[in-house]
Structure 1
């Protein structure tokens, strides 16, 4: 595995051979790098160069253990723009049709899949077959069956499969988890998760059943699902759910607008959660136990996260979530580090099983065992 210093030397040499790349920009980027770190570096190709892919790329500028080494896109103009902006050599650029060729590219260790939900399954399996580690955005798949197939494919290929659970590394969130683990809240009784916003462009892929696999639950509701698990510290054993649709002309068949769901946990705690594409100002987690409480509001946005407990305000400093995530994921892949809260494919399958159960409960009106 190349070290950080090795990569930077190769990057500078590659950029020097490409006259259209701004070498002054490269010098500025290199000046921001922690030159004291010379350990292993995870060389990442981003697949899907949309808004969130750009956010991850910008955040990675501050990483010391992970670097942007390649791009995969279906839009040639985006590839050219990213080459110029991030000094990416031509040999590390691929389309959706030919990216299997990364198998023969030693400059790429992992691919971060940031494409519409319905594409994850096949793309992750192709990356695994090419022998590269995979980071996949959430939800990892459209359902638990797809997720299990992705996990199996990565195990068969002997590559790691991680999922973009950035909140698992967020300092205030981790402090709440620490307090719960140490018993400071006592027996956990109740969790509430509210996640939603008024979605914009009606033509975006998130409102396309074939690409998104659903609606608000798949996109924003998964934060409440996953959050209920890491806040309570258990996996739910049953779910009930109700779907409300006030704008059927906007939210077509199979694209949920608002879903309320309730979860039951083996220790006796219950959760009440809301996922919506029709209301703003909903980004709040609340946890209460016999001895105390914790509240995060905002709880899952890009930050800064704000929170308080029965002991007072949470004061952990804010850092860019995607920077922390990529640094931690580099440690997981390169050094086998175990995070406080898992971010592997198996963790994602647990969320997908809950999503499957929520949709079934909303459809049937019955309690569904998980």
Structure 2
């Protein structure tokens, strides 16, 4: 008579109550290492098969709470800590997004970023190019019934899968599609700049408030880990008080008739497009609002790209604490996206600071009188995934986004003052704002690298 192996039935007799405590991969490896599974396996197979046939279903029921999984560390405490498990929400619990506009940013950055999202997923598309939209829908598994034109955009109200509309359109279209989206009963994530005028921004905020929906502006730098490290160092006075900041954001635009060269669509030239990073990031780092701006504009004569919009803008921001931020932006010079914070006992440089990938930070200080440089590790988080997940959490937890419509409105008001200063060739005073982070909502929770 065959002798039953005492170790094999322990796996075969698993019940639903024991499913969560079934032999783990680590236990299996440990047992195998001691030779416990190498005893009489052939003789035990008929017994195990018979018992498995009459055993109840051992499939674990769906999880009802958070799906966070913890694993033991692989490295010693003296080594850099490895990444934790990704731990996304189950697909049915993620917030559904409709993407409006299928240009470079959506196709190259935003849609791929959903693969790094924990709380958000794409469920609908809106485009004026039905053939391109059909292909994109197939790539990302979006149903044909969830594809809309700009004319049928309002029908999003009848799609319960869509909770947030992400507007990725030329600047002049943000106003219309935000208001229509709010009327359709959806929360709005809108690309920057928020609109072409402060009046449009105010109307967008009012429309979302009337509909009881959240409005967030996609200031991805305020969610990116390395830039958040700089903010913390500035706020904590790691190197003493900040004295000066220098910001640069330039790029050489293609010689074509893209919408960014049309004032009616873009609202302006380099200032609202790339100069906005200098303005918004300075405000983000300090938490203060400028009390005065002064600016100069120069455009190369005869360059067809700049018939309607400005090429170069240099502007200075003065803050209540005494900090002076010198910002330069342009559309006709080689790519440079960097900034440096100068404090009492050290400086922090981000170069590059504003691209979608490959950011780098360097800190210079002199502890004990000996100058040294430090380069923090880049956590390499996807900036678009971080901002979309933040919006999703705000929807689920009913929180005000960290960068709400009021943050976009403040930038628009300051940009209008910058244009005024350049026209009048004199500084322009701004209303005093004493509160720190006056236009921001609840800060995102920083994840460990």
Is this a same-fold pair by TM over 0.5?
Answer: yes
Question: Shorter-normalised TM-score: what interval?
Answer: 0.7 to 0.9
- Range moving further from structure 2, 242-251 or 130-139: 242-251
Match of 2:103 in 1: 50
Q: 2:149 maps to what in 1?
A: 95
Kindly indicate whether residue 398 of structure 2 is the aligned counterpart of residue 328 of structure 1. no
2:380 paired residue number: 318
> Does structure 1 residue 353 correspond to structure 2 residue 413?
yes
Structure 1 residue 365 corresponds to structure 2 residue 425: yes
- SS of 1:271's equivalent in the other structure is strand
| Secondary structure class of the residue paired with 2:238 | coil
Q: Which has the larger Rg? A: 2
Residue 292 (structure 1) aligned with residue 342 (structure 2): no
1:211 matched to 2:265? The reply is yes
Q: Which moved more, 1:305-314 or 1:45-54?
A: 305-314
**TM-score, normalised to structure 1's length?**
0.87
Of 151, 164, 168, the match for 2:205: 151
Following superposition, which runs of at least 4 residues in structure 1 exceed 3 angstroms of deviation? 33-40, 251-254, 336-339
Counterpart secondary structure, 1:251: helix
SS across alignment from 2:332: coil
1:194 and 2:251 aligned = no
Contact 2:125–2:148, Cα closer than 8 Å, also in 1: yes
Q: Which stretch of the first structure deviates more once superposed, 267-276 or 309-318? A: 309-318
1 CA distance for matches of 2:126 and 2:278? Answer: 30
Range with bigger deviation, 114-123 or 329-338: 329-338
Alignment map for 1:159-238 (pairs within 5 Å) = 159-238=213-292
Aligned-pair distance for 1:202? Answer: 2.2
Verify the 8 A CA contact 2:191 2:218 in the aligned structure 1.
Answer: yes
8 A contact 1:92–1:107 mirrored in 2: no
Count matched residues. Answer: 340
The answer to whether 1:113 aligns with 2:167 is: yes
Q: Are 1:5 and 1:38, in contact at CA under 8 Å, matched by a contact in 2?
A: no
1:5 Cα offset (Å) = 9.5
Deviations 1:177-197 (A, max 9, x none): 111221213222111110011
Q: Is the 8 A contact 2:97 2:123 kept in 1?
A: yes
TM-score in terms of structure 2 length: 0.72
* 1:320-353 CA distance string (max 9 Å, x none): 21122222221122224567xx311111111111
Coordinate RMSD, CA, aligned: 2.1
323, 327, 339: which one pairs with 1:269?
323
Relative contact order higher in (CA < 8 Å, ≥ 6 apart): 1
Question: Could you say if the C-alpha distance between residues 35 and 232 of structure 1 is closer, same or farther in structure 2, counting changes exceeding 3 Å?
Answer: closer
SS of match in other structure, 2:229: helix
Does residue 305 of the first structure (1) align with residue 367 of the second (2)?
Answer: no
**Residues 1:196 and 1:35: Cα distance change in structure 2 (over 3 Å):** closer
Structure 2 Cα separation of the partners of residues 5 and 66 of structure 1: 19
Task: Give 1:201 shift.
Answer: 3.6
- Relative distance call for 1:215 and 1:36 in structure 2 (3 A) is closer
1:260 maps to 2:307: no
- Return the alpha-carbon distance in structure 2 between the equivalents of residues 151 and 112 of structure 1: 15
Could you tell me how far apart the structure 2 residues matched to 1:310 and 1:46 are?
Answer: 42
Shift of residue 316, structure 1, vs aligned partner: 3.4
Partner of 2:93: 40
The DSSP-based 3-state class of the residue aligned with 2:178 is helix
Secondary structure of 2:110's match?
A: helix
